Amino acid sequence: MLQAEMAQVTAWRLTRHHLVEPAPARRWLSVVSAIGGLHAQLMSAAEHALAVRIDRPASDRVRRALWDDRSLVKTWAMRGTLHLIARADYPDLIGAMSTLRHFLRPSWLRYFGVTQVGLDRLLSACLAELSERGVSRQALAQRVARRTGNPKLGTFLQSGWGTLLKPLAFRGGLCFGPSEAQKVTFVRPDRWLGRLTPTQSAPALRAVARKFLASYGPSTPEEFARWLGAEGAAAKRVFRELADELIPVTVDGWRAWLLARDRRPLDAVKTPRGARLLPFFDPYTVAMSRQASRLFPAHLRTRVYRPQGWIAPVVLLDGRIAGVWERTTGKGPPTVEVATFGRLVRADRAALAREAERLGLRLR
């Protein structure tokens, strides 16, 4: 069995996230693909998460990719949260997400006040009303009510946070289109992106698990299930199916799994140096939540992992989560104010100032 220390594993993950050496800007789409997508609860955070990982940030790169060349797809994905997904990865993602069945449980249906028949009617009506042209939620609700003759189904769509639309997104029947003023719109992926056949569920889950392990490994079926939002039994089955491609790793007494092809790169990884400013909901920070006590003192956890699921912007110093930061605007470049978990020496501050400048920010 391979033995590794947490510092080595952390350096490995940061390298795979392009947080040690930013990738060339021309490879920006492969960066998005490698980390499984960008969290998009806040579009500014998604833009920053990409910018910090490439050597030449550009403010309009994400917007153009979403709405002009459509190389990115905005949709509800892992854990039911908003993500920007590389178009080339979308068939695998949909194949994997289509295996989710939590919304068919009687308790889920009762909570949202809808029957399974009603949910099926609602989703079928939505699919019939969507096209390449964006439709706002209010307009979609009105169309669904008219098509089904059931105003209650239209009312369902206007409540909550899109929960009743997520099952359709998981099946590849809905993604986001360009906003109209302050209103989001929805489009039908096979019209918006062109014909894309979802990968069958078993190979899709294996493909997504490989991608997860390549950037977030070594890891466990339980961590993969949490990251994807899948059932634990399904995650264990996928790891069993990948058994010939995996090797066991003990990380400071914690047993996990690594892609066998990554053994030598893990052995060769070097200690990261320098500073990085990760945004709200950065994919790296989100995925590391269960291992936070291995990355920084446990009593500081709530500074990063805040109530109601908010994940703070964090300061990385030499690969460590060393603090949090805030952004303020005014005259001139936006300003960054850091609150580190320990004393900030002159070299650290200089590294942070350089990184802030690279990102078009100014360290206070």
CATH of the domain at 182: 1.10.10.10
pLDDT in tens, 250-305: 998 899 999 999 999 888 888 899 999 999 999 999 999 988 888 888 899 999 99
**pLDDT, position 364:** 87
> Is 108 within a domain?
yes
> Is 316 within a domain?
yes
Is-above-0.85 flag for pTM? yes
- Domains contained in the chain, number: 2
**pLDDT, position 330:** 76
Which residue from 245, 223, 249 is spatially nearest to 236, judged by alpha carbons? Answer: 223
**pLDDT, position 196:** 84
Task: In whole angstroms, give the CA distance from residue 52 to residue 62.
Answer: 13
> Is 186 within a domain?
yes
> Is 261 within a domain?
no
H or E segment to which residue 7 belongs: helix 6-16
Which residue from 90, 61, 62, 59 is spatially nearest to 76, judged by alpha carbons? Answer: 90
Q: Domain range spanning residue 319?
A: 275-363
**pLDDT, position 283:** 97
**pLDDT, position 44:** 95
> Is 257 within a domain?
no
Residues in the chain where the model's pLDDT stays below 70: 160-161
> Is 345 within a domain?
yes
Q: In what order do the strands lie in the sheet with 320-328?
A: 275-278, 314-317, 320-328, 335-340, 362-363
Helix 232-241, helix 221-228: angle, nearest 10: 120
> Is 57 within a domain?
no
> Is 173 within a domain?
yes
**pLDDT, position 157:** 83
Task: In whole angstroms, give the CA distance from residue 305 to residue 9.
Answer: 21
